[in-house]
Amino acid sequence: MNTLKINNLTKTYPNGVRALNGINLEITNGMFGLLGANGAGKSSLMRTIASLQSPSSGILSFNDVDIVNNPDEIRQSLGYLPQEFGVYPKISAEKLLHHLAVLKGILNKKERKEQVTALLQQVNLFQHRKKAVATFSGGMRQRFGIAQALLGNPQIIIVDEPTAGLDPEESNRFLNLLSEIGENVIVILSTHIVEDVRNLCPKMAIMSNGEIISQGNPSELVATIEGEIWTKIIDKSQLDIYKKAFDVISTKLVAGETQIRVLSTQKPEEGFQVIDPNLEDYYFTTLFIHNSKA
């Protein structure tokens, strides 16, 4: 069982921006969802775990080894798929994977060939292996990205906003692939898409303004607001009035009409219906409460 421990981790950039503020997490094998809006600090945390940058303070350990002072320990065990990764314009998928495998220290030619072939088959790109990665669609490029992240049998895999920009079919295919991988290693899925976490992750944390503001099992977290989420269709012109009168956690258009969701322990007023909350409701509730206290 792999264990990543993060204790009181902070990161302040030279320009004074405090990107991480006292992060505490313990992550073991399986899919772990890190949920937060763009700018919440997720990428800063992922880059720090991946040893691409040093924290300002705090403790970071992987399998009881201090990886702040021994970054090679995590690098040897890490697969990383950042939000954006560049590719050589004219190199085929197969040749690029071989090149990256050499960089990862897989020097035995037979072993390298076996691993590259197996990974191209696993991510369903074997039939496209002779094509240049630069010509791939967004979904194919993400699947190539996970193939390179899996080189060298990593024990911890970080994927940063992996489904952003993918169509629903490609997104599902990619998430199913991640789920299979995540059975025996740590997979950290950093995303602002609630559905990705809800469908995949038995453990999660919500991040805002460089802090972890909630963590646990998605279903158990959602159960804590059971009976407290109310919905009503209103006229769009009334939205500001309702926001002043009630704790409106979210609004969305449903068939062209404005639907509000309100956090309340009792019926806010006539016309409201109580609903079974989902993870999105919990996410917006947590952010609403956190921002109210800020």
Within 10 angstroms of residue 197's Cβ, the number of other Cβ atoms is 25
**Residue in 194, 198, 131, 140 with CA at minimum distance from that of residue 167:** 140
Q: Are 279 and 289 in contact (CB under 8 A)?
A: no
Two tokens, residue 167: 């169509």
Q: What is the rounded (10 degree) CA torsion for 31, 286, 172, 259?
A: 170
pTM equals 0.88
Two tokens, residue 184: 């025996």
| Structure confidence at residue 89 (pLDDT) | 67
| Structure confidence at residue 39 (pLDDT) | 86
| Structure confidence at residue 283 (pLDDT) | 96
Helix 138-149, helix 168-181: angle, nearest 10: 10
Cα(235)–Cα(244) distance, integer angstroms? 15
| Structure confidence at residue 87 (pLDDT) | 64
State the number of CA atoms in the 13 A half-sphere of 185 facing the CB.
19
| Structure confidence at residue 90 (pLDDT) | 82
| Structure confidence at residue 69 (pLDDT) | 92
105-129 per-residue burial string, b: 16 or more CB within 10 A, e: under 16: ebeeeeebeebbeebbebbebeebb
Two tokens, residue 217: 């099992």
Two tokens, residue 41: 């600090």
Where the chain has pLDDT below 50, the residues are none
